[in-house]
Amino acid sequence: MKIDRRCFLSLGIGGAAGLALSPIPWKLADDSAIWTQMWPWTPVPADGEATYVKSACTLCPGGCGISVRKIDNRAVKIEGMEGHPVNDGGICLLGLSGLQLLYGPNRVKTPLKRAGERGEGKWVKITWEEAISEVAKKLGDIKEKGESNSVACISGSDKGTVPALFKRFLSVFGSPNFMRMPSIQDSYEIANNISLGFIAQTGFDLEHAGFILSFGSGLIEGWGSPVRMIRANSSWRKAGIKVVQVEPRLSNSAAKADKWIPVNPGTEYALALGLAHVIIRKSLYRNDFVHAGASGFIRFRDLVLSNYSPDSVEKITGIKKETIEALAVDFARSERPVAICGRGQGKSQGSLGEVMAVQALNVLVGNINKEGGVFAVNDPAYIAWPAYQSDAVGAAGIKKERIDGAGSGKYGFAKSLTNRFAGAVNSGSPVSLLFVLESNPVYSLPDTKDVKDAFKKIPFIVSFSSFMDETALNSDIILPNHVYLERYEDVPATAGLSKPVVSLARPVVSPQFNTKHAGDVILLIAKEVGSPVADAFPWKDYQTCLEGTAGDKWKILNKEGFSSDPAFTAQVVNISPGRFDLSGGVADLSILFTPVNSEEDSKAYPLFLLPYDSFRIANGYIGTPPFVIKTVEDTVLKGKDILVEINPATARANGLSAGSYATLKTPKGSARVKVHLFEGIMPGLVAMPRGLGHTAYDNYLAGKGINVNELIGTVEDPASGLDAAWGIRANLIKA
């Protein structure tokens, strides 16, 4: 008897046979198969009850209604609100990406106080009590020194209750310096002010217009209320409405238009005057409407007839005189023709002369104040709060001149000239404390270096940003606001709408972090600052304030999500014929109608840099979310490189080829760019998109491309103080 290796062999065989007849191999194989179908690290979204919450989007001034799909208490998708007068179910890509902002990594999660140098990104977390008392103490000190007017606020908008609360706070406290970020609204406001005698927005009933003449407006690229504009475009397509786009670059709007007329940049005003020339010469204008006898009209007529014949306009604009003649006739003979301006998305102000010249076309054809025409629209009327009492310091402070000069002297017609803010601070106007609300001036104002210098001069900066943006990064204290999906807020949509709508943003989800509504925070600061400021804010909290302000509309706003009752939203002003002064009361019309030139050396800078707006890149307060940056074409952004558009002829002249690197130089700075050849851009121009080159935010956005604001500056319009720059001289050198 001997146990040899064959016994062990036998044991093994027996074991294997037993194993084969046991569930181990089969079950394990099956289970492994299942295991490989879903790795443990791949997220599995929890299921639950699906509900929809109606709210409003605040990511741009468009004022769209949204409907947010929720699964239990998670928001999972933002959709356009069906039946909303602005967007009726449609929604833009930025609005769709809102949840990436809500749940994104770039939120400021709790009040922060700066620990290191400004912009260094070192912060200590503080409580809300500490944060508010700190700000209140600073304000107290300022007031004590009697320098209440050195407090300023830059807000993304001046519409709605939250900006109104901030403005009220400043006023009671004793500062006139409530500013809003610059836009074409500034220009339209001044134009209305000088030609009609009151400040109003301009609204366009584009849905019913019969002919659209756009002077570089990105009608389908985010101008006005973007979704509404795209919907209007579709209705034009359907009805066969003619659209003519005047622009140096084949933008999407130009491509979509029936006719694209390339124009020398900055000479759009001259084309408008040339068209006016033809219209007047051929007596195609509405005599009854312009009141031929009015002195404003006569001065205007004399000017255009003598200086802006198609011949001379051809020289200025580069557009053939035949084209001008034909366009003028086409425009004037059409039913309900509308001329419109505001470059790109209308984020820049432009010259007053351009707005006046374009508005003159609308006036000449009499398409004012009627269906398919142009309207003057007052600011929303529903914010009517009781008067307040301020103390002596406050009363004196509010009477002082604004830092940006708006409202006094030669800037008398302007409401806000934030474009002048940085220059004013740098040249000595003191700002001791700055509130920054829903805006990112360090990033989005032109001439970044200038703005940064100005910010360095301001001793205390309070950011209310929900996100760690460039301005928040350069502030001293951050009081993070809820994002719009976590808060109540009235959202007036006024951008270019002839019938304004007020929507209600509602908390779709409970606040995700230790943030506070900016409306509540300003109320708390007011309380902490004490009388008389505190007395001007009698509300328990922001929601009470909003409910009280909305009054009997509160219920409707909650139920429908919006109100378009003109009595509530804003009053459309009735403009009687002849009321519109085409000369704007300006003594020397040649100052109004003058080309905007950079005075720099044309030898060192033979080209022009033209910033352009892209729908797929957010360029305001909101940084482009990951989904949106994903849609950016690789002819615009490749890796970290930005691509500038140039005509192949320009490329040849500069020894460049598709995809090659170049140094883009302007008087303001230089940047390394890549070159994209595009037949749709005028030779001699270099086009660069706005909205890239963020230094703050997360890795999905930061460090990608160049911020065009670093390369451009401001050019002050002598007639208005507006920033009339449309670009800057530049050179492109092969790198």
Partner 1 sequence: MSTPDDKTKGVSAETGGEEAVASFKGVDEKEQGEGPGGFIVLFFIIGFVASLIIGWVIFPKLLYSQKRQPVDFNHVLHVETVDNGCESCHIFREDGSYAGVPKLAQCADCHQEVQGDSPQEKIFVEEYVAKEKEVPWLVYSKQPDCVFFSHTVHVKLAGMDCVTCHGPIGESTSLKPYEENRLTGYSRDIWGKSMTGIKKNSWDRMKMDDCAECHEKETGRKSSVQTDKDACFVCHK
Partner 2 sequence: MDSALIPRGVKRCPTWQFALWIGAAGAVLLWGVFAMLLCWFKGLNQTNMNDSYGFALWIWADLAVIALGGGAFFTGFLRYIVGKDELKNIINYAVLIGFICYSSALLILAIDIGQPLRGWFIFWHANVHSMLTEVAFCLTCYFGVLTIEYVPLILENRQIDKVPFFHRLGHNMHEIMAVFAATGAFLSFFHQGSLGGVSGVLFGRPFGYREGIFIWPWTFFLYTWSAAACGPCFTIMITKITEKVTGKRLVKQNVIELLAKISGWMIGTYIIAKIIDTWYWAKVTAPAAGFNLMDFYSNNPFYGIWILVLEIVICGVVPAIILTSEKGRKNPAALMTAIILAVLGACVNRWVMVLQVMAVPVLTFENWVMYYPSWQEVATTILPVAYGVILISLSYRYLPIFPQEQELNPEV
Partner 3 sequence: MKEEQSKEKVKKFGMVIDLDKCTGCGACMVACMAENNVPFKEDESKKLDSITWLRIYKLTNGKSFPDADICYLPRPCQHCGGKGDHGHSPCVSVCPATATDYNKETGIVSQIYTRCFGCRYCMAACPYHARYFNWWDPVWPDGMEKYLSPNVSVRMRGVVEKCSFCFHRYQLAMDKAYYEGRREIEETEYQTACTQSCPANAIAFGDLNNSGHAVYELKKDKNAFRLLERLQTNPKVYYLSSREWVRRAGDNYLKDEKK
Residue 312 three-state SS: helix
Q: Going by DSSP bridges, is the β-strand pair 661-666/728-734 parallel, antiparallel, or unpaired?
A: antiparallel
Residue (630 or 734) nearer to partner 3, CB: 630
Q: How far is the CB of 564 from partner 3 (least distance, A)?
A: 19
**What's the closest the beta carbon of residue 350 comes to partner 3, in angstroms?**
23
Sequence letter at residue 282: K
Which residue in this structure is represented by tokens 């919907």? 231
221 scored as a contact of partner 3 (CB under 8 A): yes
State which residue, 572 or 618, has the beta carbon closest to partner 3: 618
CB 15 → partner 1: shortest distance, Å? 4
Question: Are the beta carbons of 227 and 503 closer than 8 angstroms?
Answer: no
Residue 370 DSSP symbol: S
Extended beta strands in 115-257, E state: 123-125, 151-155, 178-180, 201-204, 211-217, 242-246
The yes or no reply on residue 283 touching partner 2 (CB under 8 A) is no
Is residue 28 near partner 1 by the rule CB under 8 A?
yes
**Least spacing, CB of residue 321 vs partner 2, in Å:** 37
H/E stretch holding 344 reads strand 337-344
Q: How far is the CB of 67 from partner 1 (least distance, A)?
A: 14
Residues 295-314 that bind partner 1 (CB under 8 A): none
Q: List Cβ<8 Å contacts ≥24 apart for 305-314.
A: 305/277, 305/280, 305/281, 307/273, 308/270, 308/273, 308/274, 308/276, 308/277, 309/274, 309/277, 310/274, 310/277, 310/278, 312/274, 313/270, 313/271, 313/273, 313/274, 313/277
| Cβ-Cβ contacts under 8 Å for 382 (sequence gap 6 or more) | 490, 502, 549, 550, 551, 553, 568, 569
Of 475, 482, 416, 404, give the one whose Cα is nearest residue 442: 475
Return d(Cα 288, Cα 302) in angstroms, integer.
Answer: 18
29 binds partner 1 (CB under 8 A): no
- Of 30-38, 105-113, 329-337, 495-503, the segment contacting partner 1 by CB under 8 A is 30-38
Q: Give the nearer residue to partner 2 in terms of CB position, either 606 or 626.
A: 626
Nearer to partner 1, 38 or 384 (CB): 38
18 binds, options partner 1, partner 2, partner 3, none, Cβ within 5 to 8 A by partner type: partner 1
Q: How far is CA 462 from CA 116, 449, 480, 489, in A?
A: 16, 20, 10, 21
Residue 261's contacts (CB-CB under 8 Å, 6 or more residues apart) are 244, 245, 246, 247, 319, 323, 327
Per the CB < 8 A criterion, the answer to whether 86 and 203 are in contact is: no
* Using rule CB under 8 A, residue 41 touches partner 1: no
Helix (H) or strand (E) holding 544: helix 542-550
Q: Is 240 in the site for partner 3 (CB under 8 A)?
A: no
Q: Is there a contact between 207 and 429 (Cβ–Cβ < 8 Å)? A: no
Pairwise CA distance, residues 17 & 11, whole Å: 10
Nearer to partner 2, 578 or 648 (CB): 648
- Which option in partner 2, partner 1, partner 3, none does residue 244 bind, with CB closer than 5 to 8 A by kind? none
| Shortest distance in whole angstroms from residue 49 CB to partner 1 | 6
* Residue 636 CB, nearest approach to partner 3 (Å): 9
- The residue among 37 and 510 lying less far from partner 2, judged by its C-beta, is 37
340 is an interface residue for partner 3 by CB under 8 A: no
Residue 54 CB, nearest approach to partner 1 (Å): 17
Residue 314 DSSP SS3: helix
Distance of closest approach, residue 289 Cβ to partner 3, in angstroms = 33
CB 538 within 8 A of CB 168: no
- Cβ proximity to partner 2, 30 vs 371, nearer residue: 30
Number of residues that bind partner 3 (CB under 8 A): 77
Query: Which residue's entry shows tokens 């970020």?
Result: 181
Distances, alpha carbon 90 to alpha carbons 64, 493, 627, in Å: 9, 15, 18
CA angle 191, 193, 194 (to 5 degrees): 70
Round to whole Å and give the CA distance between 373 and 360: 13
Q: Rounded to a whole number, what is the largest CA-CA distance in the chain?
A: 135
Vertex 263 angle, CA 448 and 669, to 5°: 20
Residue 578 DSSP one-character state = T
Strand order in 477-478's β-sheet? 123-125, 112-114, 477-478, 460-463, 433-437, 151-155, 178-180
Residue 266, token pair as written in the block: 């900055």
Token readout for 73 is 């208490």
Nearer to partner 1, 20 or 735 (CB): 20
CB of 678 to partner 3, least distance (A): 8
Q: Is 32 in the site for partner 3 (CB under 8 A)?
A: no
Of residues 595 through 654, those in contact with partner 3 by CB under 8 A are 615-616, 626-635, 637-639, 647-649
Residue closest to 557 by CA, chosen among 481, 474, 488, 647: 488
Select 17 or 381, whichever has its Cβ closest to partner 1: 17
Q: Can you tell me which of 92, 422, 431, 526 binds partner 3, judged by CB under 8 A?
A: 92
What letter would DSSP give residue 534? G
* Partner that binds at residue 657, options partner 1, partner 3, partner 2, none, CB closer than 5 to 8 Å by kind: none
Provide the token pair at 372: 């398919």
Q: How far is the CB of 607 from partner 2 (least distance, A)?
A: 28
Q: Contacting partner 1 (CB under 8 A), which of 16, 255, 567, 604?
A: 16
**Site membership for partner 1, residue 17 (CB under 8 A):** yes
What secondary structure letter does DSSP report for 208?
G
What, of partner 1, partner 2, partner 3, none, does residue 615 touch, CB below 5 to 8 Å by kind? partner 3
In 412-513 the beta strands, taken as DSSP E runs, fall at 433-437, 460-463, 477-478, 489-493, 501-505
Q: Minimal distance in Å, beta carbon 75 to partner 1?
A: 17
Residue 32 is a binding residue for partner 2 (CB under 8 A):
yes
Q: Least distance to partner 2 from the beta carbon of 36, Å?
A: 4
- Which of the listed partners (partner 1, partner 2, partner 3, none) does 633 bind, with a CB threshold of 5 to 8 Å by partner kind? partner 3
237 in contact with partner 3 (CB under 8 A): yes
Q: Which one, 32 or 657, has the nearer CB to partner 2?
A: 32
Q: Which is nearer to partner 3, 266 or 366 (CB)?
A: 266
Stretch that binds partner 3, among 83-91, 181-189, 518-526, 544-552 (CB under 8 A): 83-91
Site string for partner 3, 649-678 (x = CB under 8 A): x----------------------------x
Q: Which does 156 bind (CB under 5 to 8 A by kind): partner 2, partner 3, partner 1, none?
A: none
User: Is 33 an interacting residue with respect to partner 2 (CB under 8 A)?
Assistant: yes
| x/- map, 45-84, partner 1, by CB under 8 A | x-x-xx----------------------------------
Q: How many residues bind partner 1 (CB under 8 A)?
A: 36
| 70: enclosing H helix or E strand | strand 65-71
Q: Does 512 bind partner 3 (CB under 8 A)?
A: yes
Residue 709 structure tokens = 């604001």
Q: Does 37 bind partner 2 (CB under 8 A)?
A: yes
Q: Interface with partner 2 by CB under 8 A: which residues?
A: 32-33, 36-37
- Site residues (CB under 8 A) for partner 1? 1-4, 6-8, 10-19, 21-24, 26-28, 31-32, 34-35, 37-38, 40, 44-45, 47, 49-50
